[in-house]
């Protein structure tokens, strides 16, 4: 939003015939920009939309610049795009997907142009070479890991087969209703959320009484719940990938896939902010310097192979304070 106001002011000052749109999801509250929360369809933000989808409006001749943060980095098929100005770190498949928004043919479009302020050219080339011509895995992904994860999740004893069957039955029933699905999944979610809240209360009480043993037990309970949710996510990703290749012939696996997909969004443990909002760490002064135009030759040198899905579900919680401190130091530097 602030970028858009600054760019619009500059365009007006220079009297350029350029139209600007800004795209983002949800609602943003920034009193420095506008007195009330706005969405991308707000009249004072994108007055020319008039209820239309931003993709359709951007195709019109009176719009030339589209400002985005995460929106439209992938899946945005607009052949008119011919230039991109990048001011955020991109890596791996994200770099390939984002920059490839320009790779669309259109009559009269004979040049594409990228001005990148932050990314290393070698890293961008490395990302593209991974998917250039042929993408290969450096090793295979073990299909048995799905069964290992299932056993690990079942052993946590937060649900039973009946509850899994109930959710799967509603999912597979063409006449199943939203109320039936909610009734099937809500008891499991409620059980987990109440356990998390109880562990939080136990931790606070133990710390207040300086009972380190009880406090550690409560912390272990909280970590176990967070890891349980993470393992369900790992199961979903692994099964979604491997089921395209292997025929498991095991309906219990498929039913758990449905069950976990419904359960995960309900488990908003804690709701506290997990990390420092690093967008508030801003430079008050900066300078720009031309580092040159760099040709990146995809047909030279070796390409990287993609890693398989290994050690799935073997994660552990990292020391949050140390990780965040490292991130802050890196950003400040």
Tens of pLDDT, residues 5-53: 899 999 999 999 999 888 888 888 888 888 888 888 888 788 878 778 8
Q: Structure pTM?
A: 0.48
Please determine, for residue 287, whether its predicted confidence score (pLDDT) is greater than 60.
no
Q: What is the pLDDT of residue 205?
A: 92
* Model pLDDT for residues 139-175, shown as the tens digit of each residue: 556 777 888 888 999 998 999 999 999 988 888 888 8
Higher-confidence residue of 102 and 298: namely 102
Of 137 and 71, more confident = 71
Q: What are the C-alpha distances in Å from 332 to residues 102, 229, 267? A: 32, 32, 33
Helix segments in 52-177, DSSP class H: 54-58, 92-99, 121-131, 145-155, 161-172
The pLDDT value given to residue 319: 52
Q: 263 and 181 in contact (C-beta within 8 Å)?
A: no
Residue 133 has pLDDT above 70, yes or no: no
Task: Give the pLDDT band of residue 279 (cuts 50, 70, 90).
Answer: very low
Mean per-residue pLDDT, 187-208 = 90
Highest mean pLDDT among 37-46, 65-74, 140-149, 187-196: 187-196
Position with higher pLDDT, 132 vs 259? 259
CB-based burial of residue 85 (10 Å sphere; 0-12 exposed, 13-18 middle, 19+ buried)?
Answer: exposed
DSSP state of 222: H
pLDDT tier, 177 (very low <50, low <70, confident <90, very high otherwise): confident
Q: Is residue 66's pLDDT more than 50?
A: yes
Query: Which CATH entry fits the domain spanning 2-138+283-332: 3.40.50, 3.10.20, 3.40.390, 3.30.70?
Result: 3.40.50
Q: Is residue 60's pLDDT more than 60?
A: yes
pLDDT at 85: 92
Q: Where are the domains of the chain?
A: 2-138+283-332, 145-266
- Report how far residue 236's alpha carbon sits from residue 258's, in angstroms, rounded to the nearest whole number: 9
> Mean pLDDT across the stretch 229-254?
81
- Whether pLDDT at 305 is above 70: no
Name the pairing type of β-strands 65-68 and 83-86: unpaired
Task: Identify which has the larger pLDDT, 216 or 327.
Answer: 216
**What pLDDT score was predicted for residue 277?**
31
Q: Tokens at residue 214, please?
A: 């009880």
Q: How far apart are CA 149 and CA 309, in angstroms?
A: 13
Residue 212 has pLDDT above 50, yes or no: yes
Do residues 306 and 135 make contact, with C-beta atoms less than 8 angstroms apart?
Answer: yes
* pLDDT given at position 162: 93
Average pLDDT over residues 325-329: 79
């Amino acid at each position: 939003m602030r970028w858009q106001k600054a760019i619009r002011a500059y365009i007006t000052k220079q009297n350029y015939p350029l139209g600007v749109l800004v795209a983002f999801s949800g609602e943003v509250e920034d009193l420095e920009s506008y007195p009330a929360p706005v969405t991308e369809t707000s009249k004072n933000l994108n007055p020319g939309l008039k209820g239309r989808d931003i993709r359709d409006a951007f195709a019109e001749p009176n719009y030339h610049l589209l400002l985005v943060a995460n929106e439209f980095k992938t899946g945005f098929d607009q052949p008119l795009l011919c230039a991109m100005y990048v001011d955020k770190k991109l890596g791996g498949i994200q770099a390939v997907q984002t920059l490839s928004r320009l790779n669309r043919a259109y009559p009269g479009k004979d040049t594409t142009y990228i001005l990148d302020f932050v990314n290393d050219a070698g890293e961008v080339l490395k990302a593209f070479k991974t998917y250039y011509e042929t993408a290969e895995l450096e090793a295979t992904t073990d299909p048995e890991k799905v069964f290992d994860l299932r056993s690990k999740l079942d052993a946590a004893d937060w649900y039973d087969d009946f509850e899994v069957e109930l959710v799967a039955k509603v999912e597979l029933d063409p006449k199943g209703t939203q109320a039936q699905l909610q009734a099937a999944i809500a008891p499991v979610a409620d059980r987990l959320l109440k356990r998390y809240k109880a562990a939080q209360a136990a931790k606070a009480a133990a710390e207040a009484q300086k009972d380190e043993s009880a406090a550690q037990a409560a912390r272990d309970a909280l970590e176990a719940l967070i890891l349980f949710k993470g393992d369900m996510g790992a199961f979903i990703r692994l099964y979604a990938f491997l089921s395209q290749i292997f025929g498991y012939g095991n309906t219990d696996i498929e039913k758990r896939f449905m069950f976990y997909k419904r359960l995960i969004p309900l488990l908003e443990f804690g709701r506290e902010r997990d990390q420092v909002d690093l967008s508030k760490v801003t430079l008050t002064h900066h300078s720009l310097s031309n580092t040159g135009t760099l040709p990146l030759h995809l047909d030279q040198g070796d390409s990287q192979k993609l890693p398989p899905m290994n050690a799935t579900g073997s994660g552990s919680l990292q020391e949050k304070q140390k990780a965040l401190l490292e991130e802050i130091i890196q950003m400040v530097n």
